[in-house]
Structure 1
Amino acid sequence: MTQSAPIKVTLIAGGVGGAKMAEGLYHLENVELSIIGNIADDEAFHGLWVSPDIDTLTYTLADVIDRQQGWGVANEGHRALDTLSKLGDDTWMSLGDRDFGLHIYRTHRRRQGDRPTHIARDIAKSFGLECEMILPTDDTVQTRVRTEAGWLSFQEYFVKERCAPEVRELHYDHIEDAHTTEEALNALAEADLIVVAPSNPLVSILPILKVPGILEAVKASKAPKIGVSPIINGGVVKGPADRMLSSLGYEASAFGVAQIYADFLDFFVIDHADEQHVTAINGLGLRTSLDTILMKTRDDKVRLAAALLAVSRVGSKKASEAQELSA
């Protein structure tokens, strides 16, 4: 029996939630996965260019991630950081020895003038990944966080300050001048399904969608678009998304996230614990699906990924039948 053509899935992702969703899709049979990852968390440390979200995706899919903390390499040493600390350097950004090796390679390639997109692709391939790791732009875009003490880089807020200050404003520096990569546009145009991961919508997803041309390409795609809520019963598994949403005037709930995505998604998957939001989310024009969306194990991730494909297939079939009846 001839196997059907693989389903082309384009995942928009950042952070640990994005990496979990990527892992589920990556381990599904007959899926050709492309990932457009967040680069607005990128920053230079010790003269090296660090790309935390892209590296977390790469390490996760290569199965070398430190699963306890959700980022970095498992069984990592910190001798380089110890030396830097002894020399008086500021070492609040914890980078492991093997992690340093990757940042040295990336920085060397960037200084040679290589496209960041090609560098990310080559790193992914060197780690044995059989998916496309795509950057939304080769330009530098950086999320800034305004707190009571003033403006911070995202890593200063997230790592150094441990997300403690109240967020009063977000800004994505240089995003209006960024140029979308052809790879990202092609992945969206050729997708059979576009998935928005259960990532922090404000600092992981919007910095991708706000790169000029990305959101327009998502809307123009004929593929079903499905998102997964990062909020379960008013809270998050990890990270500051709920507090950020509240402090910036959004509702910290599955409904609040649905409001952010309502103008381009077709389907929104929320947890059974948030069933009370179904009517309101449907009122936004989204088709809502209830599921268990907490992903603790690889089996959880693969099961949810398979459920997304099933929801999009069934929903698209019903929409097509409704159009035929109304014609």
Structure 2
Amino acid sequence: MKIARPVSKISVVILSMLFYVGSPAWAQDKTPTLPAVKSTISSTLLKEADAGYQRYAAYNGNYFTFDPARQSWPCDVSQKQLREWMDIIDSADSQKPTKPKHTKSSSTAAAASSKFGYSYENVVFHPVAATCKNGKLDGNVEFVYEGTRKAWGPTYQKTSHELAKVTMRMADGHPVHMLELKKSVSGDQASNNQAANQKPAMPSDTVNIRSTAAQYNHRRASTATIVMAGGPNPMYFLKRPVAHHRVEKAFYAGTTLMSIETQDKAGLKDGLALTYKDGQAIKTCFKHGRQIDLKSCNG
């Protein structure tokens, strides 16, 4: 069964911010200030992600070096498992919409083209260093992976080439800790409607740098990601497990908290969601992706 993930409205807003950015933020001379967070594990992971980015920024040479002749692992490792660990999973709407035709079903096609989605192609993993115990990855593991990510929505289509270096600490075939530095280079973006064509012209190539640190507890991950995508400040994404098998996600623009929400195991909003505008919190309540009365979340 193919794994797929829904795309939330907050994700759509963040995608838009990533697509319409200016000059690279990593050209700044000073180290960005990290947001203050209450969770100890999130704070620790933020510092680790920042340190990972600083190592990349200071590195003189090809940070993503691997031996192309070395393509085998010391024990059986499936690409499906590697993709799950790296969150290289297609969205639920993984069929790229086509341009609506002038037929009786054009309204249906137009509705399909309004969806947001993304998919991955030509993903290849290159092992750099790995050890196994009892036929499973164990200890320190390092690899590089690359692939093509395609994303789409009602006003854009986007293709980017992704290249990442990953170091993981494994125990009995399961990840315990992970550091990932990913470089994403996006080409020209084609708009799908006249409104989008009124936006400022995009540069021919847009480079995003993402540094992620993750810690696993009983296979549930807490993560912190720093995204250098342009503009005066980086963006920060935090994720941590919470009660009732849910996940809490927070998004910061610089040191400013922009949104926080909880999601169920299917990736649907479940519980209180907060978005911040001009310092004011806007509250909404959800149950398995469906918005319900706010009183249900205040009880």
Does the pair score TM above 0.5? no
Structure number with higher helix proportion: 1
**Structure 2-normalised TM-score?**
0.30
Q: Which structure: greater strand fraction?
A: 2
Q: State TM-score, norm by structure 1.
A: 0.28
